Amino acid sequence: MMPRPVILAIDQGTTNTKALLVAADRTIVQSRSRAMRVHYPQPGWAEQSPSEIWETVAALIAELVAAAPDVHIAGLAISNQRETIVLWDAQTGRPIAPAAIWQCARSAPRCAELRAAGLESDIVARSGLGIDPLFPAAKIGLMLDAIPDARARAERGEVRCGTIDSWLLWNLTGGAVHATDHSNASRTQLFNLETLDWDPELARIFEVPLAMLPQILPSDGGFGHVARGVTALRDDVPIQVLLGDSHAALFAHGLSQPGRVKATIGTGSSLMAATAGRVHSSHGLSSTIAWSRVDDGVQHALEGNISVSGHAAAFATTLLGLPDETALTALAMQVPDSGGVTFVPALAGLGAPHWQAGARGTIAGMTLATRPAHVARATIEAIALQIGDVFDAIAADLDQPVAALSIDGGAARNDLLAQMLADVTGRTILRPTIAEASAMGVAMLAASALGIDMHVGDPTPARFDPVMPGHDLSRIKRNWHHAVAGAIAQAQG
Domain ranges of the chain: 5-246
Residue 203 backbone dihedrals phi, psi, to 5 degrees: -60, -35
Cα four-point dihedral sign 276, 251, 75, 265 = positive
Task: Provide the pLDDT for residue 257.
Answer: 73
State the chain's maximal CA–CA distance in angstroms: 71
pLDDT one digit per residue (tens) for the chain, 493 residues: 567 889 999 999 998 999 999 998 888 899 999 999 999 999 889 999 999 999 999 999 999 999 988 889 999 999 999 999 999 999 999 999 999 998 899 999 999 999 999 999 999 999 999 999 999 999 999 999 999 999 999 999 999 999 999 999 999 999 999 999 999 999 999 999 999 999 999 999 999 999 999 999 999 999 999 999 888 888 889 999 999 999 999 998 887 777 789 998 988 898 999 998 899 988 989 999 999 999 889 999 999 989 888 889 999 999 999 999 999 999 999 999 999 999 999 988 888 888 888 889 999 999 999 999 999 999 999 999 999 999 999 999 988 888 889 998 888 889 999 999 999 999 999 998 876 889 999 999 999 999 998 876 666 889 999 999 988 999 999 999 999 998 888 878 7
CB 302 within 8 A of CB 287: yes
Task: Mention every residue, 6+ apart, whose C-beta is less than 8 A from residue 33.
Answer: 16, 17, 18, 19, 60
Secondary structure of 320-376 in HEC code, one letter for each residue: CCCCCHHHHHHHHCCCCCCCCCEEECCECEECCCCCECCCCCEEECCCCCCCHHHHH
Q: Looking at the domain 5-246, which fold is it?
A: Nucleotidyltransferase; domain 5 (3.30.420)
214 vs 376: CA distance, rounded Å: 44
CB 251 within 8 A of CB 199: no
Write out the H or E segment, with its range, that includes residue 163. strand 159-163
Task: Provide the pLDDT for residue 437.
Answer: 86
Please indicate, yes or no, whether the overall pTM of this predicted structure exceeds 0.75.
Answer: yes
Give the bridge partners for 273, in sequence order.
261, 302
365 class by beta-carbon count within 10 Å (0-12 exposed, 13-18 middle, 19+ buried): middle
What angle in degrees, to the nearest 10, is found between the helix axes of 137-146 and 108-116? 120
What angle in degrees, to the nearest 10, is found between the helix axes of 372-398 and 310-319? 170
E-state strands within 182-277: 191-192, 197-198, 215-217, 239-244, 261-265, 269-275
Task: Provide the pLDDT for residue 368.
Answer: 96
Residue 434: Cβ within 10 Å count = 21
